Protein backbone atom coordinates (compact mmCIF):
# COMPACT_ATOMS: atom_id res chain seq x y z
CA UNK A 1 0.00 0.00 0.00
CA UNK A 2 1.38 3.36 -0.92
CA UNK A 3 1.67 6.11 1.62
CA UNK A 4 -0.98 8.03 -0.34
CA UNK A 5 -3.36 5.05 -0.18
CA UNK A 6 -2.80 4.69 3.56
CA UNK A 7 -3.54 8.40 4.03
CA UNK A 8 -6.74 8.13 1.99
CA UNK A 9 -7.86 5.14 4.08
CA UNK A 10 -7.17 7.03 7.32
CA UNK A 11 -9.06 10.08 6.05
CA UNK A 12 -12.06 7.92 5.15
CA UNK A 13 -12.02 6.21 8.56
CA UNK A 14 -12.02 9.65 10.21
CA UNK A 15 -14.96 10.78 8.05
CA UNK A 16 -16.97 7.75 9.21
CA UNK A 17 -16.13 8.45 12.88
CA UNK A 18 -17.16 12.10 12.37
CA UNK A 19 -20.53 10.75 11.14
CA UNK A 20 -21.08 8.55 14.22
CA UNK A 21 -19.96 5.31 12.57
CA UNK A 22 -17.27 3.16 14.14
CA UNK A 23 -14.66 2.50 11.47
CA UNK A 24 -11.25 0.93 11.06
CA UNK A 25 -8.68 0.10 8.46
CA UNK A 26 -8.27 -3.63 7.99
CA UNK A 27 -4.61 -4.06 8.95
CA UNK A 28 -4.12 -7.13 6.78
CA UNK A 29 -5.73 -5.85 3.59
CA UNK A 30 -3.57 -5.80 0.50
CA UNK A 31 -2.48 -9.41 0.51
CA UNK A 32 -0.98 -9.88 3.96
CA UNK A 33 -3.44 -12.70 4.53
CA UNK A 34 -5.19 -15.31 2.42
CA UNK A 35 -8.56 -14.21 3.83
CA UNK A 36 -10.54 -11.62 1.86
CA UNK A 37 -10.47 -8.34 3.77
CA UNK A 38 -11.68 -4.91 2.66
CA UNK A 39 -9.57 -1.80 3.20
CA UNK A 40 -12.09 -0.15 5.53
CA UNK A 41 -14.92 -1.52 7.67
CA UNK A 42 -17.53 0.82 9.14
CA UNK A 43 -20.82 0.42 10.98
CA UNK A 44 -23.24 2.01 13.39
CA UNK A 45 -25.06 -1.01 14.82
CA UNK A 46 -27.73 -0.88 12.12
CA UNK A 47 -25.79 -0.84 8.88
CA UNK A 48 -22.29 -2.02 8.02
CA UNK A 49 -20.03 -1.20 5.08
CA UNK A 50 -17.03 -3.02 3.64
CA UNK A 51 -15.06 -0.72 1.39
CA UNK A 52 -12.24 -1.27 -1.06
CA UNK A 53 -10.46 2.09 -1.24
CA UNK A 54 -9.06 3.46 -4.49
CA UNK A 55 -7.58 6.84 -5.27
CA UNK A 56 -6.01 8.13 -8.43
CA UNK A 57 -4.74 11.22 -10.17
CA UNK A 58 -5.88 9.58 -13.42
CA UNK A 59 -9.45 9.44 -14.77
CA UNK A 60 -9.65 5.64 -14.69
CA UNK A 61 -8.99 2.95 -12.10
CA UNK A 62 -8.55 -0.78 -12.72
CA UNK A 63 -9.45 -3.31 -10.04
CA UNK A 64 -8.39 -6.94 -10.00
CA UNK A 65 -11.33 -9.37 -10.07
CA UNK A 66 -9.92 -11.14 -7.00
CA UNK A 67 -10.36 -7.95 -4.95
CA UNK A 68 -14.03 -7.72 -5.99
CA UNK A 69 -14.69 -11.41 -5.31
CA UNK A 70 -13.02 -11.10 -1.91
CA UNK A 71 -15.01 -7.99 -1.06
CA UNK A 72 -18.25 -9.76 -1.98
CA UNK A 73 -17.27 -12.83 0.07
CA UNK A 74 -16.33 -10.81 3.14
CA UNK A 75 -19.48 -8.69 2.90
CA UNK A 76 -21.74 -11.73 2.58
CA UNK A 77 -20.24 -13.36 5.67
CA UNK A 78 -20.02 -10.14 7.73
CA UNK A 79 -23.41 -8.73 6.73
CA UNK A 80 -21.91 -5.59 5.23
CA UNK A 81 -22.82 -3.63 2.13
CA UNK A 82 -19.83 -3.75 -0.25
CA UNK A 83 -18.68 -0.60 -2.02
CA UNK A 84 -15.71 0.76 -3.86
CA UNK A 85 -14.75 4.06 -2.24
CA UNK A 86 -12.94 6.15 -4.81
CA UNK A 87 -11.31 9.53 -4.68
CA UNK A 88 -10.19 11.06 -7.94
CA UNK A 89 -7.83 14.03 -7.85
CA UNK A 90 -9.45 17.10 -6.26
CA UNK A 91 -12.83 15.38 -5.98
CA UNK A 92 -14.95 14.23 -3.04
CA UNK A 93 -15.23 10.62 -2.00
CA UNK A 94 -17.62 8.67 -4.20
CA UNK A 95 -19.01 5.23 -3.36
CA UNK A 96 -19.96 2.79 -6.11
CA UNK A 97 -21.89 -0.45 -5.86
CA UNK A 98 -19.96 -3.43 -7.19
CA UNK A 99 -22.67 -4.15 -9.77
CA UNK A 100 -22.09 -0.70 -11.31
CA UNK A 101 -18.45 -1.43 -12.18
CA UNK A 102 -17.54 -2.13 -15.80
CA UNK A 103 -15.75 -5.35 -16.68
CA UNK A 104 -12.67 -5.42 -18.85
CA UNK A 105 -11.96 -7.94 -21.58
CA UNK A 106 -9.67 -9.89 -19.20
CA UNK A 107 -12.41 -10.28 -16.54
CA UNK A 108 -11.15 -7.54 -14.23
CA UNK A 109 -12.97 -4.30 -13.47
CA UNK A 110 -12.57 -0.66 -14.35
CA UNK A 111 -14.08 2.53 -13.08
CA UNK A 112 -13.72 5.86 -14.80
CA UNK A 113 -14.49 9.25 -13.34
CA UNK A 114 -17.57 9.83 -15.54
CA UNK A 115 -19.18 6.53 -14.46
CA UNK A 116 -18.31 7.21 -10.82
CA UNK A 117 -19.96 10.63 -10.95
CA UNK A 118 -23.01 9.22 -12.74
CA UNK A 119 -23.60 6.06 -10.66
CA UNK A 120 -21.84 6.80 -7.38
CA UNK A 121 -23.06 8.44 -4.20
CA UNK A 122 -21.35 10.67 -1.66
CA UNK A 123 -20.78 9.78 1.99
CA UNK A 124 -23.85 11.59 3.36
CA UNK A 125 -26.08 9.63 1.01
CA UNK A 126 -24.27 6.38 1.76
CA UNK A 127 -24.76 6.67 5.50
CA UNK A 128 -28.32 7.93 5.25
CA UNK A 129 -27.95 11.64 5.99
CA UNK A 130 -29.49 12.27 2.56
CA UNK A 131 -33.13 11.23 2.34
CA UNK A 132 -32.62 9.46 -1.01
CA UNK A 133 -30.53 6.60 0.29
CA UNK A 134 -29.59 4.03 -2.37
CA UNK A 135 -28.87 0.78 -0.53
Closest CA relative to residue 39, chosen from 87, 91, 106, 104:
87
- Cβ distance 54 to 89 under 8 Å? no
29 among known catalytic residues: yes
Q: Identify the active-site residue in 2, 19, 29, 75.
A: 29
Q: Is 54 helix (H, G, I), strand (E, B) or coil?
A: strand
Catalytic residues: 29
Amino acid sequence: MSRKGTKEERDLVQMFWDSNFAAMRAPASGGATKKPLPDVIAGNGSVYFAIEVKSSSQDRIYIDSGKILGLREFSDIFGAKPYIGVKFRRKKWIFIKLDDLETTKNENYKLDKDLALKKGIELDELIGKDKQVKF
